[in-house]
Amino acid sequence: MSPLIQYMINQGVPQETLILLLMLPIVATIIAFSRQIIGIRGFGIYTPLIIAFAFLATGLKYGLVFFITIILVGTLTRLFIRKFRLLYLPRMAIALTAVALAILIIIHLGAYTQKTGLITSSIFAILIMITLVEKFLATQIEKGGKGAIFVTIETLILSIICYFVASWSLLQVFVLEHPFLVIFLAVVINIFLGKWTGLRLSEYFRFRKVIKDIELPKKKRLGKI
């Protein structure tokens, strides 16, 4: 363990705090990589990152339960109150209220069936996920249902990958041992990503027909005789 980290832990800083802080650059880099190199559209960097950390706090199983409930209830509420032609913020407030109610019911069910993992889930993680409803609903308005579902699924997959990386115990030990190496590498990799002008993986697929059609200037064209 790095002497600095050792000192902090000895002084009573929770190990969890340090791990999460040092995982942040790694997770952020994974998200940047998936956007620039792979071409996952996602919701910027904040949403997948915060979902991944919320999963860390609640555990993947209950995290997914909360996530899916939030999206479903939020979307249904939006569709239901659409006819009333309300303004944007009140509309969102109603959607949030409905989601809060749904979470309340889930926790109640958890209490009833005595699922301790569920009822002791960190409320802040749940709150953060609830507030993401605004992002998801705004995307639905902007991109239409199909596009929004696609982006949501992409974001969810990305978050789950980030969750597994951040909860990987070997990596957790590693970041505590080499905190500065992690930070240094994150900066270097992101400078590279920020200057990367190559095609994204998804673009190879998107433009595959055009690419096949390209004639390289050096080679002679084969005439059809």
Partner 1 sequence: MFDFFEKSHQILGMNARILAYMRPSNSLRAIRIADNKLIAKKILKKNGLPVAQTHSIIKNIHELKNFDWTSLPNTFTLKPNRGLGGEGILIVYARRKRYPYPWIKADKKIVEIKDLESHILNILEGTYSLTNLPDIAFFEERIRLLKLFKPYSYRGIPDIRILIYNSVPIMAELRLPTKESSGKANLHLGGIGTGIDMGTGITTTAIQKDRIIEYVPGTRLPLRGIQIPEWKEILRLAIHAQQITKIGFLGIDIAIDREKGPVILELNTRPGLSIQIANMFPLNERLRRVKGLKVKTINKGVKIAQDLFGGEIEEELEEISGRKVIGINEPIEILDADKIKHQTMAKVDTGAYRTTICSSLAKELGINQAIGQKKVRSALGMEEREIISLSFYMDKRLVTSDAFIADRSEMKYDIIVGRRDLKRFLVDPAKNVFMRQPKQIK
**Cβ 203 to partner 1, closest distance in Å?**
5
What tokens does 65 get? 């339960």
Residues 33 and 198: beta-carbon distance below 8 Å: no
DSSP 185-209: HHHHHHHHHHH--SPPHHHHHHTHH
Stretch that binds partner 1, among 11-19, 57-65, 84-92, 111-119 (CB under 8 A): 84-92
Tell which one of 100, 183, 189, 199 touches partner 1 (CB under 8 A): 199
Q: Which is nearer to partner 1, 142 or 177 (CB)?
A: 142
Residues 133 and 96: beta-carbon distance below 8 Å: yes
**Cβ 194 to partner 1, closest distance in Å?**
8
**Using rule CB under 8 A, residue 204 touches partner 1:** yes
User: How is residue 178 annotated by DSSP?
Assistant: -
The neighbour count for residue 130, using CB atoms within 10 Å, is 20
**Cβ 199 to partner 1, closest distance in Å?**
4
Footprint on this chain of partner 1 (rule: CB under 8 A): 36, 39, 85, 87-89, 138, 141-142, 144, 147, 195-200, 203-204, 206-207, 209-214, 216, 223-225
